[in-house]
């Protein structure tokens, strides 16, 4: 064969060959059906016309596409036929002998399908029998196809069920017909379920069946009646399995008696509308003169009314990475009886023709159109005089560079979330890049100094985790324009790589792997570590196998079992050369190797990993990192002139370099790499060859490797993964519907349906919708429709849940004072507003308490004669639906929100004032006489503090009492009451959070006896980041807690105690009190008094436009307020976006809605409390708003929430 120069990118040196071949024909097809001058042969996206003798030559084919096929499309005498070869591989710079191209059907079609069951009679419920299917082929050969692509259906699942594999299970007495279908050929058999039971009148029909049908089990004569007048008695119908009350049980237009008795000239089944399985109903076949018992006998010319084809048009884009593109046409015929039939297969007398075979040709299966060279075509589909056309376009695409942006420091790593890239930029910390919708104009949006050099980054939700020279750093990126450092775990040392799963971070640092609990980013805890030998560069995780794969440089690839986080175990090693990065896919690890290029490793046996394949350096480069996207591995390389090698990993044993995406602006070295469904993001530096430096000359490069269009007409797939079909749900309970949606390009949106009506649309994964189950219904059908960028839609199978009223629960318990004495006359309030008064023994019973609001918290109030009210709450207790729930003992204590605020101090920002306390206040065993009241939710001792950025080091820097350490300002201001005899009170009245606005009311009470009380009465800053707790000062041991989950706890002497609330762990103490009671030696007993969850009684409405931050504060009221019309901020439109509403009144509540065309929304049934509203589209926050909804008469009106820009207000 002739050899040609490769037609590959400049740096790909693999060869290509001249390809030639001939053709064979299928079965006994005449010679004219073989390959000749009327045929076009296509390989990848190259075409050639065959010669008259069937030979052909196709030069200059690339040799790096793995196993491919040659396809041929022939047009002769107006008829189109097509075929394909078996798979083959093109060797580099070599020759190949092609297998023949077979013209005609490539899959043998049975001429007969014999169906049988070994046990035609089942006598007990649950008894089973396996259907057996034997196919006969045109050459007389036979094959058992029982489990080989044969589909099964059963006439009445109420009598017996059948699995996809053909296993029949008895349910109740009766007869069923089973139909098997294989490659369009059908066969039927019958199974009778005859359960042992009485037949009192001996008429042949069991008593239970007679009762079910409304017959008399003591009258044998009724078995001989023909009530539906179909020509069959009741006994005949029982034996046949048909319905004695319906003259046409299968709805095919023929009476049951005519079918059983062959009265219309053919014997057909009264249980199968299409006895022969050819898609045409029995009645239509008889009406049009065909045989309803023979699938080969169909009169489509008379039976067809219309033909249509989907998609109606298509555009195929041939990506040079894959070399092929295709679309499946579906041909649907509507019969004269109105029934639709699938006519896609050519065996259904459907023909296909292309106006331009050079651009659009055909292959297996029937109806699939393959793209070849760029151009347009018209596909004509015909069937017995009916036709339809489809317009097609074929376009070419090749990966290419788009843009770049300079990065300060050294760009070591990159991660992408939505339209933002987050760069680990060495000494310049975190750099946030706004990418833009078309990725052509990236720009740095924000940055964050980490006080360390950033080496790597990974994202998990709204948090970024950075591996730095100063350890692991966690950053809140809820607002990309204002990233906030949440915490540092310095114990890992110089960290080079990090991955996160759930609440655990896995860090590649120094000589091994360190595992860190990140449940609270403000106080991370080391869980375990292992030394691995070598230099830890990066890692990847497989949580299904509890496996961490660590790239250890010269130490190779290390496989670590992390089943026990505190004691990870090395299971195996692979000496790859110089492993710098790794990505896992199933039983394969793809290693970015600095010495051996891209390397695949079989990790099926962790104890004996085996190297499978390596790319040549000239094709795969020398790599510092690697990621996976679909069937491709993308590498960050230092050898090429700033290029990303893209390697096909679909066969890990034979890695296939596809191309190099070149960024030709200058010769940079790849450090970190990320990708989404269309774009590659390369963090690169001009001067450095290794990742981990602090400063350099860096850029973030953006290239496109997949076309971001969806023109092939391939619809997405969708399935509802939760709830399960048939699940039982309670009225009023929150129900979350979860949809798994996938597409060949990308899913644009998922539309949720309830009761057949659209209720919510989500534009980003995870695709979920949460709503309260409606009342007054017994079932609720749930649906989902996924849509892609091309407007193609895929519908999920419907799921139906059963709805019953909340069974409620009876709540019991005991109310006592602090000494344990039972209290009579205490008012007890349960969720849903249900109340009771304790009896003389202190016990109470409350009936009819809802169970759908989550765990029960019952609050008690008792007022002694001549005294003030005392309050207490039960521990959160899971309700017992339909039963009794004992919440235990509720101890009431002297705790309340002080209504006498005292004297106004200030509304200023970041300030403090010293105040002489009215008594010596014992704090951690030391009497304090002066307290420094700060505007940011805390009191300090020793000296004042105006720190506004909450974190654990700042919290611990002074002796501090922090009810709500956050950046607070304005509102009703800070008030101080130092005139009370027994307490010193500081109240923060409707203060705003500096960046987010809102309204936050809280109180700190210091008592003469050393008690400390925090009270909260309307908090909207639920996710801004806040610390609640007390500390004796620097270097104190600490205990990180969840106050709501542990309402009672003891803190050792000299220990700090706090809870750090973040976007991942929102504030959940609104309406609660936290009481710190001193114990001997400087210890504390901590008690949290929680409120009952607020019932869903409020409604929330959103304004139509995005207002300015300054305007927001005047529009936050508990009653309805008409929002002032303001101009949209920066042209932001809120139309048709997703709204998420949360309430501090019930931390478990989540409300979801969509805005209308003007950006408005109304959401009913929101629990009163501090309301947070977020508006998002495509995973990006567009706007947010806050407000306080109150219970009672003041809360009856709609709460108007003005939506403001999500960009955090910056300090100057």
Tens digits of residue pLDDT in 1005-1021: 999 999 999 999 999 99
Percent of the chain surpassing pLDDT 90: 54
Instruction: For residue 1019, give its domain range.
Output: 903-1089
**Residue pair 1016/964 in contact by the 8 Å Cβ criterion:** yes
Could you identify the residue written with the tokens 């009445």?
A: 156
Three-state SS at 258 = helix
Pick the more confident residue, 1082 or 866.
Answer: 1082
Q: What's the gap between Cα 659 and its chain centre? A: 31
Q: Which two tokens stand for residue 411?
A: 């760009």
Q: Are residues 1115 and 1173 in the same domain?
A: yes
Tally the domains of the chain.
8
Pick the more confident residue, 1105 or 1065.
Answer: 1065
CA gap 311, 388 in Å, rounded:
11
Q: Say which DSSP state 355 is in.
A: S
Which residue from 551, 555, 548, 542 is spatially nearest to 528, judged by alpha carbons?
A: 548
CA gap 550, 233 in Å, rounded:
75
For 1039, residues 6+ apart whose C-beta sits below 8 A from its C-beta are: 1051, 1055, 1056, 1057, 1058
Residue 896 placed within a domain: no
Q: Are residues 332 and 453 in the same domain?
A: no
Three-state SS at 31 = helix
Residue that is last in its domain, among 788, 804, 820: 804
Residue that is last in its domain, among 746, 775, 804: 804
- What does the pLDDT read at residue 60? 65
Q: Which two tokens stand for residue 999?
A: 């309204």
| Least confident piece of the model among 699-713, 929-943, 1010-1024 | 699-713
Total Cβ atoms within 10 A of residue 653: 9
Q: Are residues 698 and 747 in the same domain?
A: no
Q: Say which DSSP state 910 is in.
A: S
How many angstroms separate the Cα of 734 from the Cα of each of 814, 833, 1066?
A: 30, 19, 19
pLDDT at 29 over 60: no
Q: What is the pTM of this model?
A: 0.62
Query: What backbone torsions phi and psi does residue 1160 show, to the nearest 5 degrees?
Result: -100, 160
Which residue from 174, 173, 178 is spatially nearest to 163, judged by alpha carbons?
A: 178
Q: Is the dihedral of CA 563, 568, 571, 577 positive or negative?
A: positive
Q: Once rounded to an integer, what is the mean pLDDT over residues 32-53?
A: 76
Q: Once rounded to an integer, what is the mean pLDDT over residues 897-906?
A: 96
Q: Are residues 404 and 546 in the same domain?
A: yes
Render pLDDT for 462-518 as a digit per residue (tens, 0 to 9): 899 999 999 999 999 988 999 999 999 999 999 999 999 989 999 999 899 999 999
CA gap 204, 891 in Å, rounded:
71
Q: Which CATH number characterizes residue 854's domain?
A: 2.60.40.4130
pLDDT band at 56 (very low <50, low <70, confident <90, very high): confident
Could you identify the residue written with the tokens 């607002």?
A: 479
386-397/313-319 β-pairing: parallel
Q: Say which DSSP state 490 is in.
A: G
Q: Are residues 587 and 688 in the same domain?
A: yes
Q: Are residues 796 and 839 in the same domain?
A: no
- Show contacts of 548-552: CB within 8 Å, 24+ apart: 548/499, 548/506, 548/513, 549/582, 549/584, 549/589, 549/603, 550/508, 550/512, 550/513, 550/582, 551/497, 551/508, 551/579, 551/580, 551/581, 551/582, 551/591, 551/592, 552/579
pLDDT at 154 over 60: yes
Render pLDDT for 1028-1067 as a digit per residue (tens, 0 to 9): 999 999 999 988 899 998 899 999 999 999 999 887 789 9
547-551/827-829 β-pairing: unpaired
Which residue from 1052, 1058, 1049, 999 is spatially nearest to 1026, judged by alpha carbons?
A: 1058
pLDDT band at 976 (very low <50, low <70, confident <90, very high): very high
- What does the pLDDT read at residue 661? 94
Q: What is the enclosing helix (H) or strand (E) of 620?
A: helix 617-620
Residue 711 placed within a domain: no
Residue 121 placed within a domain: yes
CA gap 1134, 157 in Å, rounded:
49
Question: Looking at the DSSP assignment, which residues form a beta bridge with residue 804?
Answer: 730
pLDDT band at 1114 (very low <50, low <70, confident <90, very high): very low
Q: Are residues 690 and 667 in the same domain?
A: yes
Q: Once rounded to an integer, what is the mean pLDDT over residues 281-299?
A: 88
Q: Are residues 490 and 629 in the same domain?
A: yes
pLDDT at 832 over 70: yes
Q: Which CATH number characterizes residue 192's domain?
A: 2.60.40.1080
Q: What is the enclosing helix (H) or strand (E) of 226?
A: none
Residue 387 placed within a domain: yes
Three-state SS at 800 = strand
Residue 19 placed within a domain: yes
Query: What backbone torsions phi and psi does residue 321 show, to the nearest 5 degrees?
Result: -70, -35
CA gap 418, 435 in Å, rounded:
9
- What does the pLDDT read at residue 593? 96
Query: What backbone torsions phi and psi does residue 491 show, to the nearest 5 degrees?
Result: -65, -15
Q: Are residues 224 and 170 in the same domain?
A: yes
Residue 897 placed within a domain: no
What are the strands of the beta sheet with 142-144, ordered from one edge? 112-116, 132-136, 142-144
Residue 1209 placed within a domain: no
Which residue from 480, 479, 481, 485 is spatially nearest to 454, judged by alpha carbons?
A: 485
For 1070, residues 6+ apart whose C-beta sits below 8 A from its C-beta are: 1016, 1017, 1018, 1019, 1091, 1144, 1145, 1169, 1170
**Residue pair 681/673 in contact by the 8 Å Cβ criterion:** yes
| Least confident piece of the model among 229-243, 748-762, 921-935 | 229-243
Q: Are residues 361 and 492 in the same domain?
A: no
pLDDT band at 158 (very low <50, low <70, confident <90, very high): confident
Residue 1211 placed within a domain: no
Q: Which CATH number characterizes residue 774's domain?
A: 2.60.40.10
Render pLDDT for 324-355 as a digit per residue (tens, 0 to 9): 888 889 999 999 999 899 898 888 899 999 99
Q: Which two tokens stand for residue 919?
A: 């008594």
Residue that is last in its domain, among 69, 103, 137: 103
Q: Are residues 1019 and 1082 in the same domain?
A: yes
Render pLDDT for 580-625 as a digit per residue (tens, 0 to 9): 999 999 999 999 999 999 999 999 999 999 999 999 999 999 999 9
pLDDT band at 1100 (very low <50, low <70, confident <90, very high): low
Q: What's the chain's average pLDDT?
A: 87
pLDDT band at 794 (very low <50, low <70, confident <90, very high): very high
Q: Are residues 563 and 632 in the same domain?
A: yes
CA gap 1041, 1030 in Å, rounded:
12
pLDDT band at 11 (very low <50, low <70, confident <90, very high): very low
Q: Once rounded to an integer, what is the mean pLDDT over residues 1087-1093?
A: 89
**Residue pair 751/784 in contact by the 8 Å Cβ criterion:** yes
**Residue pair 981/994 in contact by the 8 Å Cβ criterion:** no
CA gap 171, 166 in Å, rounded:
16
Rg (C-alpha) for the chain, rounded Å, is: 37
Q: Which two tokens stand for residue 357?
A: 């075979």
């Amino acid at each position: 064969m002739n050899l040609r120069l490769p037609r590959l990118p400049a740096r790909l040196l693999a060869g290509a060959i001249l390809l030639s071949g001939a053709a064979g024909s299928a079965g006994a097809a005449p010679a004219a059906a073989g390959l000749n001058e009327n045929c076009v042969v296509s390989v990848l996206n190259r075409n050639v016309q065959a010669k008259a003798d069937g030979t052909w030559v196709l030069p200059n084919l690339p040799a790096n596409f793995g196993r491919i096929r040659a396809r041929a499309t022939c047009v002769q005498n107006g008829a189109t036929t097509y075929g394909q070869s078996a798979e083959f591989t093109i060797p580099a710079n070599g020759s190949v002998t092609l297998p023949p191209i077979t013209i005609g059907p490539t899959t043998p079609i049975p001429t007969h399908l014999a169906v049988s069951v070994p046990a035609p009679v089942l006598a007990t419920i649950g008894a089973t029998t396996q259907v057996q299917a034997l196919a006969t082929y045109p050459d007389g050969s036979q094959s058992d196809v029982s489990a080989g692509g044969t589909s099964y259906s059963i006439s009445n699942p109420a009598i017996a069920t059948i699995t996809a594999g053909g296993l029949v299970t008895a349910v109740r007495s009766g007869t069923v017909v089973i139909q098997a279908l294989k490659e369009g050929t059908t066969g039927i058999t019958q199974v009778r379920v005859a359960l042992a039971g009485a037949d009192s009148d001996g008429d042949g029909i069991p008593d239970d069946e007679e009762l079910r049908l409304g017959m008399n089990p003591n009258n044998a004569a009724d078995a001989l009646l023909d009530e539906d007048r179909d020509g069959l008695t009741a006994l005949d119908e029982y034996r046949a399995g048909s319905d004695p009350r319906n003259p046409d049980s299968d709805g095919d237009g023929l009476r049951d008696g005519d079918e059983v008795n062959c009265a219309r000239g053919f014997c057909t089944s009264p249980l199968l509308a299409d006895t022969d399985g050819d898609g045409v109903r029995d009645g239509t076949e008889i009406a049009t003169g065909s045989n309803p018992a023979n699938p080969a006998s169909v009169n489509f010319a008379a039976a067809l009314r219309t033909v249509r084809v989907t998609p109606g048009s298509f555009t195929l884009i041939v990506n040079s990475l894959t070399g092929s593109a295709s679309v499946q046409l579906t041909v649907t015929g509507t019969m004269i009886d109105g029934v639709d039939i699938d006519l896609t297969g050519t065996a259904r007398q459907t023909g296909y023709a292309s106006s331009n075979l050079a651009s659009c040709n055909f292959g297996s299966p029937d109806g699939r159109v393959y793209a070849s060279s760029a151009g347009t075509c018209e596909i004509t589909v015909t069937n017995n005089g009916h036709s339809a056309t489809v317009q097609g376009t074929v376009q070419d695409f090749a990966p290419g560079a788009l843009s770049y942006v300079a990065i300060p420091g050294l760009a070591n790593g990159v991660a992408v979330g939505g339209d933002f890239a987050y760069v680990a930029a060495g000494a310049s910390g975190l750099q946030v890049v706004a990418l833009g919708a078309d990725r052509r104009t990236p720009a740095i949006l924000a940055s964050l100094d980490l006080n360390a050099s950033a080496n790597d980054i990974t994202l998990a939700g709204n948090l970024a985790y950075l591996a730095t020279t100063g350890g692991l750093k966690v950053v809140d990126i809820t607002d990309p324009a204002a990233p906030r450092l949440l915490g540092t775990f310095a114990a890992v040392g110089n960290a080079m790589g990090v991955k996160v799963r759930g609440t655990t971070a896995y860090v590649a640092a120094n000589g091994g792997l360190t595992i860190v609990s990140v449940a609270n980013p403000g106080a991370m805890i080391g869980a375990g570590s292992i030394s691995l030998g070598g230099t830890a560069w990066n890692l990847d995780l497989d949580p299904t196998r509890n496996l961490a794969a660590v790239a250890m440089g010269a130490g190779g690839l290390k496989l670590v079992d992390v089943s026990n986080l505190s004691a990870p175990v090395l299971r195996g090693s692979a000496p790859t050369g110089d492993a710098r990065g790794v990505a896992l896919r199933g039983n394969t690890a793809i290693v970015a190797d600095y010495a051996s290029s891209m390397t695949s490793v079989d990790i099926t046996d962790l104890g004996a990993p085996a190297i499978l394949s390596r790319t040549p350096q000239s094709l795969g480069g020398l790599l510092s990192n690697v990621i996976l996207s679909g069937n491709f591995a993308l590498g960050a390389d230092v050898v090429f002139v700033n290029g990303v090698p893209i390697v096909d990993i679909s066969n890990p044993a034979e890695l296939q370099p596809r191309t190099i995406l070149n960024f030709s602006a200058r010769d940079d070295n790849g450090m970190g790499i990320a990708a989404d469904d269309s774009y590659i993001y390369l963090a690169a530096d001009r001067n450095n060859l290794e990742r981990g430096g602090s400063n350099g000359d860096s850029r973030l490069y953006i290239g496109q490797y997949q076309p971001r269009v969806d023109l092939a007409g391939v619809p997405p797939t969708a399935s509802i993964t939760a709830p399960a079909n048939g699940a039982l749900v309670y009225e009023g309970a929150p129900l979350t519907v979860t949809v798994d949606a996938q597409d060949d390009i990308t899913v644009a949106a998922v539309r949720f349906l309830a009761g057949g009506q659209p209720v919510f649309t989500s534009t980003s994964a995870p695709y979920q919708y949460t709503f309260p189950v409606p009342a007054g219904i017994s079932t609720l059908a749930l649906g989902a429709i996924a849509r892609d960028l091309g407007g193609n839609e895929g519908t999920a199978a419907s799921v139906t849940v059963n709805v019953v009223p909340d069974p409620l629960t009876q709540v019991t318990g005991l109310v006592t004072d602090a000494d344990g004495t039972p209290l009579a006359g205490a008012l007890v309030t349960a969720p849903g507003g249900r109340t009771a008064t304790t009896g003389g023994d202190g016990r109470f019973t409350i009936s009819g308490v809802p169970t759908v609001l989550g765990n029960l918290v019952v609050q008690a109030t008792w007022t002694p004669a001549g005294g003030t009210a005392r309050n207490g709450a039960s521990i959160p207790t899971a309700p017992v639906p339909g039963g009794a729930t004992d919440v235990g003992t509720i101890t009431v204590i002297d705790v309340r929100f002080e209504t006498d605020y005292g004297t106004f101090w200030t509304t200023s920002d970041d300030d403090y004032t010293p105040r002489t306390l009215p008594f010596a206040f014992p704090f951690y065993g030391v009497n304090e006489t002066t307290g420094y009241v700060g505007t940011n939710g805390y009191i300090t001792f020793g000296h004042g503090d105006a720190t506004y950025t909450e974190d654990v080091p700042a919290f611990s820097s002074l002796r501090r009492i922090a009810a709500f350490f956050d950046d607070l300002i304005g509102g009703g201001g800070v008030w101080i009451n130092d005139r009370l005899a027994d307490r010193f009170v500081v109240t923060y009245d409707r203060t705003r959070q500096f960046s987010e606005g809102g309204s936050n009311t809280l109180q700190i009470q210091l008592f003469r006896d050393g008690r400390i009380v925090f009270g909260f009465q309307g908090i909207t800053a639920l996710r801004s980041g806040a610390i609640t707790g007390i500390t004796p000062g620097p270097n104190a041991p600490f205990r990180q807690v969840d106050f709501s989950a542990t309402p009672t706890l003891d803190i050792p002497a000299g220990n700090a105690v706090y809870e750090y609330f973040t976007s991942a762990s929102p504030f959940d103490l609104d309406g609660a009190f936290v009481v710190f009671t001193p114990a001997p030696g400087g210890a504390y007993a901590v008690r949290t008094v929680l409120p009952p969850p607020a019932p869903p009684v409020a409604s929330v409405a959103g304004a139509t436009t995005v207002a300015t931050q300054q305007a927001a504060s005047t529009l936050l009221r508990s009653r309805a307020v008409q929002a002032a019309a303001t101009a949209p901020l920066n042209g932001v439109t809120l139309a048709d976006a997703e709204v998420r509403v949360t309430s501090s009144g019930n931390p478990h509540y989540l409300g979801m809605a969509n805005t209308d065309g003007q950006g408005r929304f109304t959401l009913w049934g929101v629990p009163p409390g501090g309301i947070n509203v977020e508006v998002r589209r495509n995973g990006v926050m567009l706007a947010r708003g806050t407000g306080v909804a109150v219970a009672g008469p003041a809360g009856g009106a709609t709460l108007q929430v003005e939506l403001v820009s999500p960009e955090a207000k910056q300090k100057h």
